[in-house]
Amino acid sequence: MTIAVYGKAIDAEFAEATKNLFAALEKYKVKVTIYLPLLDYISINLSFTPYYQDTFRNPSELKGTDVLISLGGDGTFLDSISLVQDMEIPIMGINFGRLGFLASTSIPEIDNSIDLLMASKYKIEQRSMLQLISPDNLFNPFPYALNDFVVRNSVSSLLHVNTFINNEYLTTYWSDGLIVSTPTGSTAYSLSVGGPILTPSLNAFLLSAIAPHHLTVRPLVIPDDNDIDIEVSGREGSVIVSLDSRNLELPIPVKLSLRKAPFKANVICLDGTSFYRTIRSKLLWGMDKRN
DSSP category for residue 195: P
Range of the domain at 213: 130-260
**Torsion over CA of 79, 85, 87 and 90, rounded to 10 degrees?**
30
Q: Which of 40, 74, 136, 224 is catalytic?
A: 74
- d(CA 68, CA 114) in angstroms, rounded, equals 12
156 shares a domain with 278: no
On whether residue 220 sits in a domain, the answer given is: yes
Is the distance from CB of 18 to CB of 10 less than 8 angstroms? yes
Identify the CATH number of the domain in which residue 57 sits. 3.40.50.10330
Contacting residues for 212 by C-beta, under 8 A, at least 6 apart: 173, 174, 175
3-39 pLDDT per residue, tens: 999 999 898 999 999 999 999 999 999 999 999 999 9
Angle at 164 between CA 162 and CA 170, to 5 degrees: 80
Nearest to 7 by CA among 85, 99, 103, 86: 103
Q: Which percentage of the chain shows pLDDT scores above 90?
A: 82
**212 SS3 class:** coil
CA distances from 156 to 148, 242, 246, 260 (A): 22, 17, 21, 31
CA distances from 16 to 21, 33, 43, 102 (A): 9, 20, 13, 22
Q: With bands split at pLDDT 50, 70 and 90, how would you rate the model's confidence at 237?
A: confident
Active site includes 74? yes
On whether residue 236 sits in a domain, the answer given is: yes
Q: Which percentage of the chain shows pLDDT scores above 70?
A: 99
Confidence at residue 57, expressed as pLDDT on a 0 to 100 scale: 96
212 shares a domain with 254: yes
Is 261 annotated to bind a ligand? Reply is: no
Q: With bands split at pLDDT 50, 70 and 90, how would you rate the model's confidence at 286?
A: confident
**Please, which residues bridge with residue 233 across strands?**
160
Is the distance from CB of 170 to CB of 209 less than 8 angstroms? no
Identify the CATH number of the domain in which residue 248 sits. 2.60.200.30
Is 190 annotated to bind a ligand? Reply is: yes
- d(CA 233, CA 63) in angstroms, rounded, equals 42
On whether residue 61 sits in a domain, the answer given is: yes
Confidence at residue 79, expressed as pLDDT on a 0 to 100 scale: 95
Confidence at residue 224, expressed as pLDDT on a 0 to 100 scale: 97
Question: How high is the mean pLDDT of the chain?
Answer: 94
121-157 pLDDT per residue, tens: 999 999 999 999 988 888 999 999 999 999 999 887 8
Is the distance from CB of 189 to CB of 148 less than 8 angstroms? yes
Is 192 annotated to bind a ligand? Reply is: yes
**Window from 28-37, 98-107, 219-228 with minimum mean pLDDT:** 98-107
What's the rounded mean pLDDT across residues 204-226?
96
Is the distance from CB of 76 to CB of 11 less than 8 angstroms? no
- d(CA 233, CA 212) in angstroms, rounded, equals 15
Structural domains in the chain (count): 2
CA distances from 202 to 45, 129, 193, 194, 221 (A): 42, 12, 20, 19, 10
Is 74 annotated to bind a ligand? Reply is: yes
268 shares a domain with 124: yes
On whether residue 162 sits in a domain, the answer given is: yes
- d(CA 103, CA 71) in angstroms, rounded, equals 8
On whether residue 110 sits in a domain, the answer given is: yes
On whether residue 291 sits in a domain, the answer given is: no
On whether residue 290 sits in a domain, the answer given is: no
**Please, which residues bridge with residue 152 across strands?**
177, 240
160 shares a domain with 105: no
Is 75 annotated to bind a ligand? Reply is: yes
229 shares a domain with 200: yes
245 vs 221: which has the higher pLDDT: 221
**139 SS3 class:** coil
Is the distance from CB of 50 to CB of 34 less than 8 angstroms? yes
Q: Compute how many other C-beta atoms are within 10 angstroms of the C-beta atom of residue 43.
A: 12
120 shares a domain with 87: yes
Q: Compute how many other C-beta atoms are within 10 angstroms of the C-beta atom of residue 32.
A: 22
pLDDT higher than threshold 60 for residue 291: no
Confidence at residue 137, expressed as pLDDT on a 0 to 100 scale: 87
Is the distance from CB of 80 to CB of 102 less than 8 angstroms? no
Confidence at residue 139, expressed as pLDDT on a 0 to 100 scale: 92
